[in-house]
Structure 1
């Protein structure tokens, strides 16, 4: 059935954003919004769309989960270093993430540079995961073509018979922001957008047109 997608719209009326009321630190402001998203029961509040770009300038986007946030070390996520995103980050360390909390009519856009976290820090997170998640990380040659689902499940069963150890090609990344934008939906599409930019070793706030 064909649908007229142009007529699907929703007005945003839940909140408004005033630059003077926002924290001087975008990290503290983000933590406030994230905690509110968790407390209000937003679905997958730590889910973020990660965008990477290869050497040909072709972008890729996928959803990953935020696993740690520190002002000194940025936004952390974990993955297979040999995956598509891992290989693209090896070629081009510039990346962006986007959080969208539909229930609160908010999103946060973050741009920065990605660095690998230490093997020790990757170990700490890896061994904190449920065993089935550890086995999946060991089993999956992420982003590579495989023969069948059965082949993947066979590899999983084989991994269960061996000692569980974090693969060398699996670990964490930290996105260090240079720009963070807080977006609050407003009625009539006159949305509020406040951007922080890291300039001369300080965060500067400015309002953007919607």
Structure 2
């Protein structure tokens, strides 16, 4: 039953993020880039389920991003990059749980690195954006910034939803300094003291 729940949740979350990223976010008219909601979805699932499931979610999300129109890149570029992001995010989930600011900065770093990795793959394959694309560094920086700002809106809630069925305690809105549900120290009663 866990596998079915995970598959349904991942499919729904990736489809919603992909739809928002391709249809709503371009109309915001942000300079140079938009937040990477698909990457944030992969980060949330990897934080909840670990590196193996994070890599699988990254592969599925990246393949969907490669195949959904108006994709102009070679199929597999986003899949490879998001698979690596999912695996790395699953390993770094404990580090990200320490503070909300660290989580946002880490998500922004992943978004900027993913943009640059896509450009490197584009240069190697010869399709889509490449390292010689004008404005690549501005676009990667803007994507990193926008994704870092969007992180508190997406990551805590989706991570909590992903962990809900696993039996772990999760907060829907994480308090500042506890973005991904780090266990809180227990309080003692007066009788125990």
Higher helix proportion: 2
- Mark the structure with the bigger radius of gyration: 1
- Shorter chain as denominator, the TM-score bin is under 0.3
Superposition TM-score, scaled by structure 1 size: 0.25
Per the normalisation by structure 2, the TM-score is 0.26
